[in-house]
Chains A and B, each alone.
Chain A
């Protein structure tokens, strides 16, 4: 058996490492696209599918809970093993790409919904804030405290430039609705009656008009704990013996 290495020079080693990157990174990207879009569809689903589900109370609260899973788990792995702060941005970019492909093929071309009713929200900015905080603080504690807080806090303002036109009021058949509500009414979804939407309803616990900032701050605090939890899961995952053997 010939045990001599195929890599004999530094240049050859460099080339081998580049080839490894070019093989591994696309696979990681495809895996992130598949895992994240599947996970997001199961946990957030309709809140991200339909413009008339993105309310002030539930959507900004539920979304960061689900959205922080991959940035937390893989953020730990990529930072501890490689010191590369890209898990948040990369995983969310992959989610965004998969979402746009899915909405175009499944919702627009196959089911016939107009794209302006089923566009995916944007979350890339949240991933950037998380990654940059990790790079600048070099601490998971402070990344959770600052980056996690901003992650939950800014989900609504980040999407408001996209969402605001769909909250313009319309009077329709004597009823006040938003443009998004009207889309939900006019474009028939047989399996989705109006009451199915889990959106904000008036309660005595609502502080006047301050629903959005209150939800944002609450989501921000939850996001801190959520980020730390998923980083801990990443820590447990990175301890797995099989990873050491493979790498």
Chain B
């Protein structure tokens, strides 16, 4: 036994033990979207109609991300609101893409904005591939003081392109610049100049080597009143010279830059207004009578009172919550588009059938799929505020879709 313990004390075995976890570690591909509390994922932003195309492209080619989102009317009151300050972002690993354009309801999203709860927003982002790789691309809405709310994502493969990547932009002064390299030579030149001057000053004192022990002893011998005697007139001349050169270089550099770039503006910031769109769902009213989650069956049961004031019969085709789509296979035949597309085909069971025009019916809707578990939504029962929200997709006999948000308390069932 002792020999075995001694064997593990050998350095190469310890090295293997240190390296082994690194070799077996899986690559982190997600953005932590499942880490957020399910109640918050359900009650913040509802994402629909995500399109990411093409799913394969080369470096230098453009990618479009398009879809819609609806800030939840059940937004938690203790969280900073999306109605204050928010920003449309992209969830990708670093600058693998250049963001060429991003718009919400047609408004450019270069700056921050605010979104109203219960309203519809259509977003579109155009990215240009910069680095080859395979990326899971998400839309993200960052909310000030709350954090990022990550939408559903799709995989995109970027293949190497031909030629060097460049990012040309024309300034307001008419000059075309490449954002990849612009100004770098100037930065390197000035940084090197200052580095050289600093090294020269340090080098001057190093010429007095040895300095540490002899100077310490000498300063101790002279005492605080006479310690300055260790400094020579040459030291003072060097000090005056370096002071003058430094001061002239700073002021000269400033005026040189003013001459070289006479027109500049301060960094730009501030909020812009994004006009919202209405959901156009006044003809469908839904009241949640009961909402229970049965843990063993991974089954979410909703009892709803639905009133149809439209002119066509309507049926429930989809329930979306926390970016997971539960589909009624009788009405929607969609399949997941890739390995991480959060679509649960044939997972929505509706008892109560269609609701004719002018009628009020009680429906029982079951959303049942393993995605409740794999997306860590079942931990809703451990949230300090066990309330849910989601989006019901009604489809009428002519195929028109109506989106209605529902929400309320959720009671867990343990058997």
Chain A residues packing against B (C-beta within 8 Å): 14, 17-18, 20-21, 24-25, 52, 54-56, 80-86, 89-90, 92-93, 96, 100, 111-116, 119-120, 122, 124-125, 127-129, 131-133, 135-136, 138, 150, 154, 157-158, 160-162, 164-183, 185-191, 193-197, 199-202, 211, 247
Contacts and interface: CB of A to CB of B under 8 A. Distances in A.
B202 A96 contact: no
Contact of B210 (A17, A157, A195): A17
Among A158, A165, A178, A179, the most chain B Cβ lie within 10 Å of the Cβ of A165
B249 interface: yes
Given A52-B267, A83-B231, A138-B228, A182 B169 contact: yes
B191 interface: yes
7 contacts: A54-B267, A119-B191, A128-B242, A129-B246, A175-B110, A186-B99, A194-B112
Contact of A111 (B94, B142, B206, B215): B94
B246 to A, nearest CB: 4
B254 interface: yes
A195 B256 CA distance: 33
B190 to A, nearest CB: 5
Given A86-B201, A112-B96, A125-B250, A21 B209 contact: yes
B318 to A, nearest CB: 28
Given A89-B202, A211-B266, A111 B95 contact: yes
A86 B194 contact: no
B190 A181 contact: no
Contacts of A195: 85-87, 112, 142, 144, 269
B345 interface: no
B197 to A, nearest CB: 7
Given A129-B246, A164-B257, A124 B195 contact: yes
Contacts of B243: 128-129, 132-133, 136
Query: Could you tell me the dominant secondary structure of chain B's interface residues?
Result: mixed
Interface residues of B, number: 95
Given A83-B230, A157-B254, A119 B181 contact: no
A136 B236 contact: yes
B196 to A, nearest CB: 9
A128 B245 CA distance: 10
B148 A190 contact: yes
A190 B92 contact: yes
A177 B268 contact: yes
Contact of B239 (A136, A167, A176): A136
Interface string B108-120: 1011100000000
Given A17-B213, A89-B201, A125-B246, A187 B184 contact: no
Contacts of B98: 186-188
A119 B212 CA distance: 34
